[in-house]
A and B are shown apart, each in its own frame.
Chain A
Amino acid sequence: AQSVTQLDSQVPVFEEAPVELRCNYSSSVSVYLFWYVQYPNQGLQLLLKYLSGSTLVKGINGFEAEFNKSQTSFHLRKPSVHISDTAEYFCAVSARSSGDKLTFGTGTRLAVRP
């Protein structure tokens, strides 16, 4: 079984500042990794994914994440945030052998202040 830990439940940051949202996972098998964003009262939107290849993954809205196998981490970063980035962010993992069964972290609320 897999598990995901998002250490920060809330991250306040000022507009145009950089941000990093942390995600660590646990798994005994090879995994795929994902970050999703959820705006208020909406469904989830896929930000980026790591399936294989380069460990630095670029996604939508200027976000990127780096897969670190030795540290079992997949932290999400953005060099300069905007007010519109205020949302809940979820990290998720699936075992490569189990198709698209996702295990989610508990989420990090990013609050961007002017």
Chain B
Amino acid sequence: NAGVTQTPKFQVLKTGQSMTLQCAQDMNHEYMSWYRQDPGMGLRLIHYSVGAGITDQGEVPNGYNVSRSTTEDFPLRLLSAAPSQTSVYFCASSYRQGYRYEQYFGPGTRLTVT
């Protein structure tokens, strides 16, 4: 049971390049989400998914796309990288049934856009 895994751990992009941040979980959690963490701003929700085939926007979705073709994977795509997207990105998965609640965050991807 690996929990939530993210790749790569570090990435440097030039402005205008595109890339995909990978996120996978092996806990069969229905709910997955992407956050970005910037100094002094806490974490902000980018996109989330309540199950395979279902995604929706969070607080800061502009410049990012997601898809959820399987329960396990939830990749985040940067269409045309901008310096404002320099951040640390965290993927999370969670499960809730009644008052049972489990949530796990991945280790993060540190992205620098030059």
User: Residues on A close to B: CB < 8 A?
Assistant: 4, 9, 32, 36, 42-46, 49, 51-53, 90, 92, 99-107
Q: Within the assembled complex, what's the spacing in Å between the Cα atoms of A86 and B42?
A: 17
| Segment of B69-77, B79-87, B98-106 in the binding face | B98-106
Q: Which residue from chain A places its CB closest to the CB of B38 in the assembled complex?
A: A106
Q: Within the assembled complex, what's the spacing in Å between the Cα atoms of A9 and B42?
A: 11
Q: Is B111 an interface residue (CB 8 A)?
A: no
Kindly supply a per-residue 1/0 record for chain B positions 2-16, scoring 1 wherever the CB is within 8 Å of any chain A CB and 0 otherwise: 001000000000000
Q: Which residue from chain B places its CB closest to the CB of A34 in the assembled complex?
A: B103
- For B4, what are the chain A residues with a Cβ–Cβ distance below 8 Å? 43
Q: Which of B59-74 contact A (CB under 8 A)?
A: 59
Which residue from B31, B42, B48, B108 sits with its C-beta under 8 Å from A43? B108
A113 to chain B, nearest CB (A): 23
Q: Which residue from chain A places its CB closest to the CB of B44 in the assembled complex?
A: A104
Q: Are A99 and B50 neighbours in the complex by a CB distance under 8 Å?
A: yes
Known: A45-B105, A49-B101, A103-B45. 11 other contacts (CB 8 A): A43-B90, A52-B99, A92-B43, A99-B50, A100-B94, A101-B45, A101-B58, A104-B35, A106-B40, A106-B42, A107-B42
